[in-house]
Amino acid sequence: MAPKTSPTAYDRARKAYSSLQKERLKADCKDYLPNVLLAGGRAVKKEAVAASPKDAEAIKKLFPNTSGIPLVEFEAGAACIDKDPVKVGVVLSGGQAPGGHNVIAGIFDGIKAWNENSTMYGFLDGPHGVFAGNFVVITDEIMDGFRNTGGFDMLGSGRHKIETEEQFRDSMTVCNAIGLDGLVVIGGDDSNTNGAVLAEYFKANGCKTKVIGAPKTIDGDLKCPPHLPVSFGFDTACKTYATLVGNVAVDALSAQKYYHLVRLMGRSASNIALEVALLTHPNACLLGEEVAEQKQSLKDITIELADMIEARSKDGKDYGVILLPEGLIEFIPEFNSLISEINDKLAQPEIQPTEEAILNVLSKENADCFRYLPAFIRAQLLLDRDPHGNVQVAKIETEKLLAATVQSELENRRASGYKGTFSPQFHAFGYEGRAGMPTVFDSSYCYALGYTASSLLVNGCTGLIASVKNLLAPCKEWQCGGVPVTSLCVIERRKGKDKPVIRKALVEMTGDLSQPFQFYKKIRNDLRILDMYRIPGPMQFDMVNCEVSKDIPMTLQLELGRSWEVQVPQEKPKRMGTFLFLPQAKKMRSELQKWRMDRRHRLPEAISAFNGNAVTVERGEETCVNAHTEVVSRYFSEVHAPLLNIVPTEERGEPIADKKIGVVFCGRQAPGCHDFVCGLVDMMPPNFGNKLYGFVGGTKGFLDKQAVELTSEICDAFRGTGGLDMLGRTVDRINTKDESEKAKITCQEFDLDGLVLVGGARTNTDAAYLAEYFKQNKVKTAVVGVPCGIEGSMVNEFVEASLGFDSNAKAMAQLVGNTAIDGSSARKYYYFLKLMDGSTTGGKVPTSHVALEVALETKPNLLLLTEEVDDHRNNLREIVSGIADVISDRADDGKNFGTILVAEGLLAAIPEFRTLIKELEGVPMPSTVEKALPELTTWSAALFQSLPEFIQKQLLLERQSNAALQLSQLETERLMAWLVEDELKQRKKKGAFKGSFSPVCQFLGYQARCSMPSDFDSDYAYALGGTAAVLASRSCNGYMAVVSDLAQPVERWHPGGVPFTAMLQVPLQLPKESFRPRPGIFPRKVDLDAGAFKKWKEVRDSCAGQELYENPGPIQLSGPAASRVTKTIATRFSYLQQLKGLKRHLETLNSRCRPGCDLRQVKVAAQSLATLNTILDELSEHAAASPFLERASSISLPLK
């Protein structure tokens, strides 16, 4: 079929932008333009040196018309040629890489600067668009909608190649029909080689179209110094992954119980893994090139890791971080041999894919290797095969393979003295790094590459790839030019033929570019045992105030001659009970962390002096229990305690002196907790003998009396940092008589005046009962709670936000935004993304505030919200059918891609699944299918058996500390994709679905919950810390520290205290329950009638069919976007401030309706108040049936 030769109407303009995207759109790309190109640049031709002299003749024969062409370097000045308008096309080839849109912007601006009447064309969806003639005209309006943005969604990309004679001929037909003067191929090594072949074909056939390339790949394996020092996209991808790895490292330090194994992109080369290791300092980083050079076997690698884990265990460290590239397995010699032989043997029809059959025909060496592998990997090698019958190496989860072999090796070592624990957590970081908002470096580098490409084209060059050098200098001093692709090529044997290729740049162990590896090699022995994690933090774009925003890749800096000194920790960890106290020195922090530590907090006006002796605590209105006063009074001696307001005072009352306060991190990790402790310390007046004790190891450390005195010096190294590694945490529980007694003894031995417990609903329920226990036992310690939790469910009428929610939601939203844009760029995947949410707070139906907030921030195509599923009583079939309907409708519009968010606790909201989970909670865990099935009812057993094997196994894993199922262990997103795929297959058989469906599943959680805190969380935490310090030191027992009016500017926030009793609710007693649940502070579910969910309802129908994706980008710590608050918090009703407003109205009414006032006023007021009271009576009848109340199984029976 003849190709099209007329443009297509453009329909891919972005319809929505986040605040940071708008900020980046406004950034002037011309600020990135090197001086040498300001006037267009004068092209100076020089001889190019062949990459492989021995292949020069062979390459000349393959490229008779374009080999031997000179390289070009631009000098300052104007080109000495006529400036007629030009027509230039651009195509994106291969996988996405951040910055591609700026390459296009550079080309666009370059040809417009050359002649304003020049025209630019964009070929859609990769090289296929060139030979099919699928192209659009790029206008100013289109271009301005994509500057400084991530992804390739402006045009779409594809992995096609122009290979056949027909495809070359059609490509030329299209270019001739348009009258193209030039075509820019933006791609990796293969794409640029293909572009060189196209340039040769055009020149040989008299086509005027010149072809120029631009070096793209996040893998970093397109690198040919000095001309191509780095490929674009590498910096952004690595910084994205490094942010996540840094967060995971903090998570490891905070809990001190997991080894996090992180698989990073990079199949053919380990450049990403090495760059991320240099940025984050993990305990180990496996490099495929080193494995191959040293001919390491799987057993060698296993023993090496086991040695490290055992050595760390002897130091009390059963945690760590290990990085590996996704292609590691292909570098292991024995594995390549094994896979090759398995492929050959199973190609023979008489050999069955069973272990017994394959072991009988494998060579001895490969049979030994096969036996060494874990069972699930052996099964994968035999059963998971591609259409050609070969093992799908890319799908092998190498991190799980290594964890299994290491686990086995460590178990074998127990007989010889190993006593540690090895609990792995797995992460695979990939797609979220390909389409992110480009860093300042990638933005400027890409724009310079694009402008350079345009300059090469208008100077009549062809067969070159754009080159930008001198990258250590400011961008204005960069050197620009072009180098012949043929001069970079070598001849390699591929598929039985000699092919010209640009040799992939692997990690070099020795030689001219070995500086990054040698630097890593120099420090890695220290990294193995010491905790030297470097936390790079989120990428920044404020080039004026944040110098770190302009950093270039670390490997590139080392290759260009820059050097570093790595600080080794001098202070050894101190063992305190079962936990290690890990004090940090400021010098160990990353550059961004050090910069962040200098930030001054914005403060509420009431505590702006931030000195406990400059404020006073005022008693406010008495509170009431919403319902069940009689029930609550059984447990609490005072149920109508007053609200407390913290206000400034100039009167010198009794000073806060010689007070001793303790603080415990009870709940799970959340950003901002370190700033909270800093607020506690800073609010206690100096030089008054006050002391703050931090209990190391969370609740267990508190009960075991493991404490350190927290000083300003200790806190200074933790300001603005994420996680809980200052003190750590263990379990969230102080609710038995024995635990309460131990808490009493600890407080008495430390002579504590106040105890501050930081956590969510479970923590604060325990705090309420502990406060009452202390009161009854005449313990002087005042117990103060703090609302904290990434899940955002520790909210109610008095608490407007839980600490950490804002940062966590923003960090997750960046990853979802990146992934959604990646999907609209490749246009072939459905991403099912499960978000860590409220499943761990206990209760019948988990909360999903994070999923809702992320949906509001990113606008995915579909959101599976726990509370909505529960409200509608949707069964599993209805949910699957609903997802399939959206996918089918999109397929009818030619869209076989999308993004679907899945709340972590979704399955617990599905009635039949909820019943199954409840029944399984009565079975001792971990268990096997054979043991569990007989314990289930007929209906639950049938459901269980209908589920895929992976979900069955996950349902039978060990339970969490409160005996509830760990919903985070269930791959809900994978189950949904599996069920939807089956549904779509059935529809396809009936002719009801004609699209394609390729799901990609991922869980987002650990990589976000220890993020550096946002400005909001940092200020909120600090204000909460100051508030808690005042309440604890003023003996305000049984109160939660709150800061209200959070939707307003910080200065207008109001600090105070709310009695726990005002937040208690009594769950309804279920028909079959023999006990009356005790009052508790319960996780607040998403209110389906509130502002946040209403906002989602307004847009979700449009989101389902369109691409309204927004990318909020990484958390910004300065600049306009830094002040942004999550939509959930910004739209939340301020209960306390409304109460104050109501009181003012009543006072005004009382003032107006005094004896002697107008009779009409009295009548209107009396009638209105009577009507109002009737309405309030109606509302009070329904208070006990609050839609936010749920029975929390995590709350235990009374302490009696």
**Cβ atoms 810, 857 nearer than 8 A:** yes
DSSP state of 906: G
CB atoms within 10 A of CB 1016: 26
Q: Which residues contact 261 (CB under 8 A, 6 or more apart)?
A: 322, 324, 399, 400, 402, 403, 424, 425, 426, 427
The answer to whether the CB of 843 falls within 8 A of the CB of 1068 is no
Ordered DSSP codes for 442-463: HHHHHHHHHHHHHHHHHTT--S
Pairing of strands 830-835, 284-285: unpaired
Helical packing angle, 298-314 and 515-529, nearest 10°:
50
d(C-alpha 97, C-alpha 214), whole Å: 12
According to DSSP, the β-strands at 320-325 and 1054-1059 are: unpaired
Q: Measuring CA to CA, which residue among 846, 610, 840 is closest to residue 729?
A: 840
Query: Cα Rg for the chain, rounded, in angstroms?
Result: 32
CB 228, CB 483: distance < 8 Å: yes
Three-state secondary structure call for residue 713: helix
Task: List beta partners, residue 1043.
Answer: 1055
Residue 244 tokens, joined? 């996540």
* Residue 573: strand, helix, or coil: coil
Taking the C-alpha atoms of 244, 250, 254 and 256 in order, what is their torsion angle to the nearest 10 degrees? 90
CB contact at 8 A, 930 and 863: no
For the chain, the first-to-last Cα distance in angstroms comes to 84
Residues designated catalytic? 219
Structure tokens at 1006: 């650990």
Tokens 């303790």, residue?
662
**Sign of the C-alpha dihedral, residues 874, 878, 880, 886?**
negative
DSSP letter (8 states) at residue 223: -
Nearest to 670 by CA among 852, 834, 802: 802
Structure tokens, 500: 């010209």
- The C-alpha atoms of residue 448 and residue 281 are separated, in whole angstroms, by 32
- State how far the Cα of 706 lies from the Cα of 729, in Å rounded to an integer: 12
Strands (E), 355-456: 424-429
Which pair of tokens denotes residue 148?
Answer: 């400084």
Spatial CB neighbours of 572, under 8 Å, sequence gap ≥ 6: none
What gap in Å lies between CA 771 and CA 1036, rounded to an integer?
10
Strands (E), 765-913: 782-787, 830-835, 862-864, 898-903
10 Å Cβ neighbour count for 1157?
12
Strands 87-92 and 119-123: parallel
Q: How many CB atoms lie within 10 A of CB 786?
A: 32
Residue reference for tokens 């305990």: 283
Query: Minimal CA–CA distance to 103: which of 187, 41, 160?
Result: 187
Instruction: Classify residue 460 as left (phi > 0), alpha (psi -120 to 50) or beta.
Output: left
Q: Is the CB of residue 281 less than 8 Å from the CB of residue 322?
A: no
- Residues 1009, 251 contacting (CB under 8 angstroms): yes
The tokens of 1091 are what? 């502002």
Q: How many CB atoms lie within 10 A of CB 911?
A: 13
